[in-house]
Structure 1
Amino acid sequence: AIDQFKAHYRSADALLIDDIQFFAKKERSQEEFFYTFNSLLEGQRQIILTCDRFPKEVENLDERLQSRLGWGLTIAIEPPELETRVAILIKKAQQNLITLPDDVAFFIAKRIKSNVRDLEGALQRVMAFSRFTNQPLSIDMAQDALKDLLALHQKLVTLESIQKTVAEYFKIRVSDLLAKKRTRSVARPRQIAMALAKELTSHSLPEIGEAFGGRDHTTVLHACRKVVELKETDSRIAEDYRNLLRTLSS
């Protein structure tokens, strides 16, 4: 089986692997991938990998593998633009033998901006609501089907209001969030504010970074991923984030 694996993947013209963070703690898989990576690299083959964080941030990932992954071009994948979201919705509906009106597709796409999974989930909810209530697909029907999901998105939240709310919550100044200070008492609130900005506004990562003292979009991406990680491991951070989210959404 191992020989077949080697023959199959090491002879490929290109290798695409999603979510390589799941290699963590799997030493045998990491070792085999390491040698497969080297073999493909020597053969000048293309390798495309995705991860929910930067390779060096993945715990229990072999240092040699982290080093190899750092050789290539690392880019952030941002949520799809409006037109792409609309196209995804229409195509997904077609796969379910449903004709989704353009105005309904735009209504959903303008309000669900986080990721494709959430977008498709919203569409499934709308289609199910249409079937169960025997109503044709329309904006009014979609709004009714998604009313609880859209409640959070309907409030206009600005970057300035997020910065002010976060600063007051953590008892620091807004200027601290914009400064270059890296002390934890300031850095952590700044990361939380950036994550809230990504979740509650339609601003792009570069725009958020610019609003937080002219920071790079990769800094914003790192902050968002760090907050996601901390919410799962630190109950205090999770509570702080929920409190701020509730305040900004009320």
Structure 2
Amino acid sequence: MQKTAETIWGNCLSFIKDNITPQAYKTWFEPIKAVKLTDNALSIQVPSKFFYEWLEEHYVKLLKVALNKELGDTAKLVYVIRMENTYGNKQPFTESIPSSQRAQMQSQQVDVPTKSKSPELKNPFIIPGIRNVKIESQLNPNYNFESFLEGDSNRLARSAGMAVANKPGGTSFNPLLIFGGVGLGKTHLAHAIGVEIKDKYPEKTVLYISAEKFTQQYIESVKKNNRNDFIHFYQIIDVLIVDDIQLLSGKAGTQDVFFHIFNHLHQNGKQVILTSDKAPVDMQDIEQRLLSRFKWGLSAELQHPDFETRIAIIKSKLYRDGVEMPEDIVEFLANNIKTNIRELEGAIISLIAHSSFNKKDITLELAKSIVDNYVKNTKREVSIDYIQKVVGDYFQMDVETLRSKTRKRHIVQARQLAMFFAKKLTKASLASIGSQIGKRDHATVLHACKTVNNLAATDKQFRKFVEDLDKKLAV
């Protein structure tokens, strides 16, 4: 029987498959194709330079044994690197492998290293021309768990983050999706998890990146015709943190490449952490296959901080800055800036700056003038509780009645209007709105919003309800 490249490589694969883990075989050998057999040299096609370098660094002995069994001691292996039209001609098979090394090789476990020895690894974070392949985490060490204060609004997300940090890739929280409105601490928590992992597991490769930067890097890789190297770079990460994943909306190519990276990481027990300003159910123009994967782990919402948490945040900020402030001023700030932690910290910084520059004590009057200015220049977000109260007062019913299970028409309409305005005026997810307005699910909220839109277009009286409430809730 005549030997062909396909039959020789097929026999090699059978031998290799018996000597490594199924996952390693699937990752590193299934994508390879036999190209040709010439003068006892087998040419195989690999997806990228990085792929070839990885084989040479980790599987050269195994490849040697497999090929020698088929073609004898003079066998040679030629790598054809797809897309880049370059050839890597290696002749590594120049000595026999002792049986002791072969036994060691047979129990080999694949674990992608934190850095590659080869300068060919295309690291999208390295400036062109600088031969450095070390992968920096891009983490901000100031965003840690110590400065991320726990309260009712963030307890689930923070606890899940701690669990992931203690055992990355080893919990059911994979991926961990942290979602919530602007300024509630999503980025802070994502960094805190990464910082804690780096502290506990310094050997692990942790990488933080915004979805926007990921998209830019992907576009650049397509332009430079090294898409596969881009994918393989991200596939060696142990803990991948992607901020604002909702920004992949409508970007089909980037979604596709992220899908393949996500699958590889998840299948290999690596940890994925995502943040978003929306729950998966509310994301628009994201492929269904990607959304379904976002739901594999845990989606944890960061809600608006309650009064006690706001007090704790202010005191923590003052302590870190070495500033003392009377208790009544702390309470005033906590009572008047409710929607956003970033806004709250900004007001404290403004207050301290005014006091310092003008050499004035921090007084309640000064705090009031700062807050008035701050609130005027900041678009405020009303709370769901406030919306329910305004709608209840308008229809002369208490909030308990509004949230009740009754199907009376006027109460149902009031409830639907509250849901409609909560969706319009807050960053809360549909699930969160439903939960706070009578323990309904997200589908009920979606139906309520459609009903309000339809009735406002066809019913003159109902349209007046919407217009009146719009004015009352104007921010």
Q: Identify, as 1 or 2, the structure richer in strand.
A: 2
Q: 2:418 aligns with which of 184, 190, 197?
A: 190
SS of equivalent to 1:16: strand
Paired letter, 2:390: I
Identity of aligned residues (%): 26
RMSD: 4.5
Q: Which runs of 5+ in 2 are unaligned?
A: 1-121, 123-226, 454-462
Q: 1:16 aligns with which of 241, 248, 265?
A: 241
Cα distance per residue 1:190-229 (max 9 Å; x no partner): 2146569989xxxxx79x956x4x315x75xx78xx8xxx
- Residue of structure 1 in register with 2:295 after alignment: 70
SS of equivalent to 1:67: helix
- Residue of structure 2 in register with 1:116 after alignment: 341
Q: Distance in 2 between matches of 1:88 and 1:167?
A: 37
Q: Distance in 2 between matches of 1:147 and 1:90?
A: 21
- Residue of structure 1 in register with 2:360 after alignment: 135
Compared with structure 1, are the counterparts of its residues 106 and 176 closer, same or farther at alpha carbon in structure 2 (3 Å cutoff)? closer
- Residue of structure 1 in register with 2:157 after alignment: none
Q: Which runs of 5+ in 1 are unaligned?
A: 169-173, 200-204, 231-235
Paired letter, 1:244: K
SS of equivalent to 1:76: strand
C-alpha displacement of 1:86: 4.0
1:147 and 2:375 aligned = no
Cα distance per residue 1:64-112 (max 9 Å; x no partner): 11111122222221123445434544555577x5624262444323332
C-alpha displacement of 1:20: 1.2
Compared with structure 1, are the counterparts of its residues 84 and 5 closer, same or farther at alpha carbon in structure 2 (3 Å cutoff)? farther
Compared with structure 1, are the counterparts of its residues 92 and 166 closer, same or farther at alpha carbon in structure 2 (3 Å cutoff)? same
Q: For 1:37-116, what aligned pairs fall within 5 Å after superposition?
A: 37-90=262-315, 92=317, 99-101=323-325, 103=327, 104-116=329-341
Q: Distance in 1 between matches of 2:466 and 2:277?
A: 19
Tell me the matched-pair count. Answer: 218
SS of equivalent to 1:50: strand
Q: Distance in 1 between matches of 2:403 and 2:425?
A: 13
Q: Distance in 1 between matches of 2:265 and 2:470?
A: 45
State whether residues 126 and 142 of structure 1, in contact with CA within 8 Å, keep that contact through their aligned partners in structure 2. Answer: yes
SS of equivalent to 1:41: helix
Q: Distance in 2 between matches of 1:38 and 1:148?
A: 48
Compared with structure 1, are the counterparts of its residues 209 and 67 closer, same or farther at alpha carbon in structure 2 (3 Å cutoff)? closer
1:167 and 2:167 aligned = no
C-alpha displacement of 1:126: 1.9
- Normalised TM-score (structure 2): 0.37
Q: 1:36 aligns with which of 250, 254, 261?
A: 261
SS of equivalent to 1:17: strand
- Normalised TM-score (structure 1): 0.64
Q: Distance in 1 between matches of 2:387 and 2:279?
A: 26
Paired letter, 1:24: S
Q: Distance in 1 between matches of 2:254 and 2:324?
A: 43
Compared with structure 1, are the counterparts of its residues 125 and 245 closer, same or farther at alpha carbon in structure 2 (3 Å cutoff)? farther
SS of equivalent to 1:99: coil
Q: Distance in 1 between matches of 2:408 and 2:278?
A: 23
Compared with structure 1, are the counterparts of its residues 106 and 3 closer, same or farther at alpha carbon in structure 2 (3 Å cutoff)? farther
Q: Identify, as 1 or 2, the structure richer in helix.
A: 1
SS of equivalent to 2:241: strand
Q: Distance in 1 between matches of 2:317 and 2:353?
A: 14
